[in-house]
Chain A
Amino acid sequence: MANLRGLQEGIVNSQIWKSVFRVGIPNTNRKRVLAVLGSLILHLHPVKVRRSGVRMSYTWCMGGTSFFLFLVETVTGLLLMFYYRPTIEYAFTDIMDLREQAPFGIMREMHRWGAHAMVIAVWLHMFRVFMTGSYKPPREFNWNVGVILLVLTLLLSFTGYLLPWDQLAIWAITVGSSMARASPGAGNEGPMSGLVKLGDIRLIHAGDDARFALIGGRSIGAATLLRFYVLHCVVIPLAAGFLMAIHFWRVRKDGGISGPL
């Protein structure tokens, strides 16, 4: 025991350890403060939090869960990109190979179930925030950021749904994206868009309407796959990351993790 104790102290007191963990074991209040302030990641948190912010039964931990799942999705998604090519020739077979032969093809399962879990977690987070009335002043803006993040989460999941390029994917996206066709004034089959004319020529048709912009063609095809891939891997994650930063920042600035104000 004593040896182990000595070993522990030896490690903790070594120069290498100290250079990394400046503070040491935070067993005094000062060190506790420094531990949070001195770390890039930890200083997302304030030094002290309201007790209800720590209480699981109050927060349900759903915000943190959403964020963690976002990280899980990022890591597994990056790994999947090693084995996935977003072209209609290869997309399906690459996914099949993840199942048949790729080492740890289970990353795909993690990614897919993680996505489902994230959608649920984000909903529950919103549910909790509403139930505690935490959108009320001064948190109105952060609620709105949250709503946009919810939409982005759904879009992330939606764009990812197409990538396996199987029947499930293509038809789910066909059904989902067909709604854009009905946008009033902007979709080929939307109300009033028949009125947008130049002479006899309809300006809104299947080749230039809202759905076309979304899927890059008149029907789901190679262009859609690439578009969704770029949206899924670059555009939406960047946007979500940016908004998450704002979201976290405002949590601190608007009175900390939920609680009565």
Chain B
Amino acid sequence: MTFIKDFINVLSAGSISFTLLTSIFALIVYFNLLGGRIKAVGGMAFIGLGVFMLLMGIFVPPLLYLGIAYLLILFALARLGGRLWDTKVGLRLFVIGGLAFGLSMLDPNFFLIAAKPDNVPIVAMIFLLGFFTWVALRKAYLNDTQIAVGGIPWEKTESDEKLFTWPDLVYTELLCMILLTIVMIVWSVVLRAPLEEAANPTSSPNPAKAPWYFLGLQEMLVYFDPWLAGVVLPTLIIVGLMAIPYIDTNPKGNGYYSFRERKWEIGVFLYGFLVLWSFLIITGTFLRGPNWNFFGPFEFWDPNKLVPLVNVDLSELMWVKVLGTSLPKLWIIREIFGLGLIGAYLGLPPVMAAGPFRRFYNKMGAARYYVGAYLFLIMMSLPIKMVLRWLFNLKYILHIQEIFFNV
């Protein structure tokens, strides 16, 4: 038991769980697990990665866990394949999840975090997200199978069929309202709304957390300066969401569940929604304890826990460590590497437009292509920065305190 708890504790560390999720995600999307088969090359690649991690684990112990997790999940997915979308399997997965949660609640530390009144909705959200993701992908899978054999999605089969609003729609709405009211009342009776001590502007609680739905942002703040994580990125999230209908010119998949017909759109969206947003919220809520330190779900929130958090800037890394000189005085020279790196990153779309993505470029037109590409790049900057932080303790790629401009 202790081993499993330790395993999960280590696994849930941002550097591992996030990497894991990201790559599993790529696995699902790219290799189209929905088809029920792992392509040999991809499968081998992941197995190779897992084995590599295992070997590296000798030097960097956490990687051992990562490798084990990789292989376990890969194994499970390979076994399940398309049966993942079978109702019975789904139900079983759901029950297993519930059981695991119930068992975990026996752990006092886990109970303390998960049973906190304000965290209960987030626990519910985890299950709801899991359930609905499964539902959506299942429906997409069924439709895709249908389309693959030359059929049409079932939504279309009944699109001509119209029902009277009264009683069909009105009745279900009424029932939903009643049931929801029941849920709300029971929830309110069972859980007391939290009320802590009176506001005291001179003493911060430890940890001081934002409302839970902004914890993703607060988590981002660990990796980016506030102006980016708190202002620019949230703005771009909204802008990005609003831009979706105008960038996505794929006429397929309008009004029905489908995956194959819009693999990239769904992949990117799900990555942003599930991993970059929901997963970070879950991390921020359950796994960030006193002093914003990372705590595994079964770990005691000890305010005295000490974690080394020494960071370096890219300029220091390059000038001092690699080149072995001191930092140049003039910021434009000092930050030449950061500027270069960012320039290269931002220069990717035009290069790609000329190269591999020519097809996209031509299809979408310049405006759509560039807006979409840059939004995507900015979205991906978060995981990139996270990985850089974990690998190199990198604090800033670009650090111009002269004008307060840090990336």
Partners in one complex: yes
Chain A contacts to B: CB under 8 angstroms: 26, 29, 32-33, 35-36, 42, 45-54, 56-58, 60-61, 64-65, 68-69, 72, 88, 92, 95-96, 99, 106, 108-110, 112-114, 116-117, 119-120, 124, 126-128, 130-137, 139-140, 143-144, 147, 150-151, 154, 157-158, 161, 164-172, 174-176, 178-184, 187, 189-195, 219-221, 255, 258-261
Partner pick for A261 among B121, B195, B254, CB 8 A cutoff:
B254
B360 on the interface (CB 8 Å rule)? no
- Given contacts A54-B168, A108-B193, A184-B231, whether A49 and B162 have CB atoms under 8 Å apart is yes
State in angstroms the CA–CA spacing of A71 and B340 once bound together: 53
CA distance A128 to B231 in the complex (A): 27
**Interfacial chain B residues near A143, Cβ < 8 Å:** 242, 244-245
Q: A184 contacts which chain B residues (CB < 8 A)?
A: 227, 231-232
Q: With A143-B245, A157-B211 given, name 7 new contacts (CB 8 A).
A: A58-B139, A132-B253, A143-B244, A171-B208, A179-B217, A180-B231, A183-B231
Q: What's the Cα separation between A61 and B169 when bound, in Å?
A: 11
Taking a contact as CB atoms under 8 Å apart, the answer to whether B159 and A260 are in contact is yes
Bound Cα distance from A183 to B180, whole angstroms? 40
> Is B177 an interface position by the 8 A CB rule?
yes
Asked if B191 is at the interface (CB within 8 A of a chain A CB), the reply is yes
B262 contact from A109, A114, A133, Cβ within 8 A: A133
Which residues of B have CB within 8 Å of A260?
A: 153, 155-156, 159, 254-256
Closest chain A residue to B224, Cβ basis? A182
| B230 close to A116 (CB less than 8 A) | no
Q: Which residues of A contact B156 (CB under 8 A)?
A: 260
Shortest CB-to-CB span from A258 to chain B, Å, is 6
Write out the residue numbers on chain B whose beta carbons fall within 8 Å of the beta carbon of A172.
208-211
Contact call B404/A190, Cβ cutoff below 8 A? yes
| Shortest beta-carbon distance from A43 to chain B in Å | 9
User: Shortest beta-carbon distance, A99 to chain B, in Å?
Assistant: 6
**Which B residues lie within 8 Å of A147 (CB)?**
238, 241-242
Rounded to whole Å, the gap between the CB of A218 and the closest CB of chain B is: 11
What residues of chain B lie closer than 8 Å to A49, measured between beta carbons?
Answer: 162-163, 165, 168-169
Q: Are B193 and A117 in contact (CB under 8 A)?
A: no
Q: Give the tally of cross-chain contacts (CB within 8 A).
A: 274
Distance between Cα atoms of A174 and B202 in the complex (Å): 12
Q: Is the CB of A68 within 8 A of B193?
A: no
B residues within 8 A CB of A127? 129, 132-133, 136, 273
- Which of A32, A170, A175 is B209 in contact with, Cβ under 8 Å? A175
Establish whether residues A50 and B195, one from each chain, have CB atoms under 8 Å apart when the complex forms: no
Nearest 6 CB-CB pairings of A with B: A179-B230, A182-B226, A140-B245, A260-B255, A109-B188, A116-B121
Known: A140-B245, A259-B159. A117 touches B121 (CB 8 A): yes
Is B205 in the interface zone, CB < 8 Å from A? yes
Cβ–Cβ < 8 Å partners of A164 in chain B? 195
CB-CB < 8 A to B198: which residues of A?
Answer: 92, 165-167
The B119-171 residues at the A interface (CB cut-off 8 A) are 121, 124-125, 128-129, 132-133, 135-136, 139-140, 153, 155-156, 158-159, 161-170
Nearest to B176 among chain A residues (CB) is: A61
Partner of B166, one of A35, A128, A136, A174: A35
Is the pair B193, A182 in contact by a Cβ cutoff of 8 Å?
no
- Docked-complex contact A26 and B167, CB < 8 angstroms: yes
CB < 8 Å: which of B187, B213, B245, B246 contacts A139? B245
Q: In the assembled complex, which residues on chain A have CB atoms less than 8 Å from the CB atom of B403? A: 191-192, 194-195
CA distance A255 to B256 in the complex (A): 14
Q: Contact: A26 with B166, CB < 8 Å?
A: yes
Question: Are A113's CB and B191's CB within 8 A?
Answer: yes
Complex contact A136–B173 (CB within 8 A): no
